[in-house]
A = this chain, B = another copy of it.
Amino acid sequence: MAKPLRIGMIGYGFMARAHSNAYCKVNHFFELEYEPVLKAVCGRNKDKAQEFAANWGYEAVETEWKKLVQRDDIDAVDICVPNNLHKEIATAAAKAGKIVLCEKPLAMDSTEGAEMCDVVEKAGVPNMVWYNYRRIPAVALAKQLIDEGRLGRIFHYRAMFLQDWTIKEDLPQGGAALWRLDAAAAGSGVTGDLLAHSIDTALWLNGSMKSVTAMTETFVKERLHTETGKVEPVEIDDACAFLARFDNGSLATFESTRYARGHKALYVFEINGEHASISWDLHDMHRLQYFDHRDDSLVRGWRSVHVTDGDMPYMGNWWVPGLQIGYEHSFVHQVADFLAGYAKGEPVSPTFRDALETQQVCDAVLKSAKDGQWVEC
């Protein structure tokens, strides 16, 4: 029988749903020493919190997060609320001795992030940030191929995260659904939301960055604010692009936007090495593109690897070759890895400390965009 790991969830939005699904599914597909138990969910609106609890099977409901983090029947606090609340909640949870699982980005900025790292480390509590894309099988496979040295010296890295959902000028900012457009809640726009994912993957696959030069733009300057009821200036970045140099000598380009008509959530990366290259695209997340120059020249070409076989990362736990899994499975894998690490007393990446590096790059990017200068990371 698996031992319980009692979850206290803060938030009942999109991410709370994705995580809850992962908690419910993980032990059906992974053999683990621990099993999540959904103890309590916290949200300011009691009716909605109760509805969420009923749907997912949380045993109790709280309306104040400060109460939730103090509950004795909770082992882990999962933070699924806007970025401006991460630090305060994580700090309180860590001080209460709870495991802290925090949605990305870690914090509003790297100053906050560094403080959060200090707190969880001082408290000695396991901690993790939900950069879930690392656990998509094709992305994990990319990591494995790179770590095996198949690519040789790396020359180039490029990443884009393109969406188009905010082109509409009459989309308001603020509130439960649209806090991502409100700088007070989100800290930044696409940088913390989308680029943070691209940066996390890049640091994981290609090591640390040395320096960046960036530009940002806000295409729609004013939007109705749902909380004030007034048209207010939009202070987040609608788009951000930057050039970077990595410690390993490779050059990189990064771009993210919510104004790329035709792209829903096109997260793409490509890495070019001396011998081989890899590329991947979230829109077809079950495929990895691989090119190996050492192939016989007559049949050398980009290989479209359908990452569904049992010998590929995580896939032995699911169906049979040819049958896809989806977005939600990345969270299941992250929970599975966390539970396995927890059982062994080992930290599971990305920890707060790992995620801090992404935050520092985000800060450098935003500073560069503001100052018009190259900035060291």
Contacts and interface: CB of A to CB of B under 8 A. Distances in A.
A224 interface: no
A243 B240 CA distance: 10
Contacts of A165: 321
A3 interface: no
A371 B321 CA distance: 35
Given A24-B28, A322-B163, A306 B251 contact: no
User: Which one of A287, A298, A320 has the greatest number of beta carbons of chain B within 10 Å?
Assistant: A298
A291 B323 contact: no
Interface in A159-203: 160, 162-165, 167
Nearest to A302: B304
A324 B324 contact: yes
B215 A261 contact: no
Given A215-B243, A265-B323, 7 more contacts: A213-B215, A262-B272, A283-B306, A283-B322, A326-B326, A326-B329, A373-B373
Contact of A141 (B27, B288, B298, B324): B298
A239 to B, nearest CB: 6
Given A28-B21, A213-B243, A272-B259, A321 B265 contact: yes
Number of copies: 4
A155 B274 contact: no
A308 B156 contact: no
B305 A299 contact: yes
24 contacts: A14-B319, A21-B25, A141-B298, A155-B219, A156-B239, A158-B160, A158-B255, A163-B322, A214-B243, A253-B253, A261-B291, A265-B322, A284-B287, A285-B324, A286-B324, A287-B301, A295-B303, A300-B303, A301-B304, A303-B303, A319-B327, A323-B326, A325-B326, A372-B374
A284 B281 CA distance: 13
Contacts of A264: 306, 308-309, 320-322
B293 A273 contact: no
Contacts of A117: none
Interface string A360-377: 000000000000111000
A106 interface: no
Interface in A295-353: 295, 297-306, 308-309, 311-312, 318-329
A40 to B, nearest CB: 17
B298 A215 contact: no
A14 B322 CA distance: 14
